[in-house]
A and B are shown apart, each in its own frame.
Chain A
């Protein structure tokens, strides 16, 4: 079935350390993998995404890696800051771009301690 597993559910790091969140997906045909950040009381906001034709994408302190063979992808945040504290969701597309759906992981609560 359509499933995205996300780990860990909570993650606490010291400011300046790196944080890694991992996701696995069930459909080998999935080809689009966004990551969303949700701050308290707000809606999710896209922070980075990756498509299946690349293995890694970076945007300043954030990077995402994709291993299609193993069907898993990861979010890496370097030099974490207190404002990185939030809930992070991975997602994978199941079906086509316009008639499929995004399936979200259960979320990871990241706490960055000053």
Chain B
């Protein structure tokens, strides 16, 4: 398996623009997670899905952030409008059957820079 796939790997945009990050989880995994990593706050869980259904979005920082999972092989994280403080590395991860005690497999991340 190719592992978790994320695109783009790098994104540079200007404040106010819409940003869409994409993720393809490992085939057959029931859970998908979106994390954000910054120097100040470390690795934070934003939202996670079970079988395409959002379970907990309490980590989403503001209404500017939204995430969808239209099918088992694709998810998006959207920021609209983007702000400089959104600059971070965003990771997608997936796990097989149990959310937090099965191994979470992380993608390579998307480095977002908002100017």
**Chain A residues within 8 Å of B, Cβ to Cβ:** 32, 34, 36, 41-46, 49, 51, 89, 93, 97-102, 104-107
Name the B residues within 8 Å of A102 (CB-CB).
Answer: 45, 100, 104
B82 part of interface (Cβ distance < 8 Å): no
Name the B residues within 8 Å of A105 (CB-CB).
Answer: 42
Contact A100 B100 (CB under 8 A): yes
Interface segment, one of B11-19, B71-79, B105-113? B105-113
B53 part of interface (Cβ distance < 8 Å): no
B10 CB to nearest A CB, Å: 11
Name the B residues within 8 Å of A97 (CB-CB).
Answer: 98-101
Given contacts A42-B108, A44-B106, A32 and B42 within 8 Å (CB-CB): no
B112 CB to nearest A CB, Å: 15
> What CA separation (Å) do A93 and B101 show in the bound complex?
8
**Chain B residues within 8 Å of A, Cβ to Cβ:** 4, 42-43, 45, 50, 55-56, 59, 91, 93, 98-101, 103-109
Contact B56 A101 (CB under 8 A): yes
Contact B101 A44 (CB under 8 A): no
Given contacts A99-B56, A101-B56, A104-B43, A46 and B99 within 8 Å (CB-CB): no
Name the A residues within 8 Å of B101 (CB-CB).
Answer: 32, 51, 93, 97
- B42, B45, B91: the one contacting A101 at CB < 8 Å is B45
Task: Select from chain A the residue with minimum beta-carbon distance to B111.
Answer: A41
Contact A43 B4 (CB under 8 A): yes
Task: Select from chain A the residue with minimum beta-carbon distance to B55.
Answer: A99
Task: Select from chain B the residue with minimum beta-carbon distance to A51.
Answer: B101
Name the B residues within 8 Å of A36 (CB-CB).
Answer: 106
Contact A45 B106 (CB under 8 A): yes
Contact A98 B98 (CB under 8 A): yes
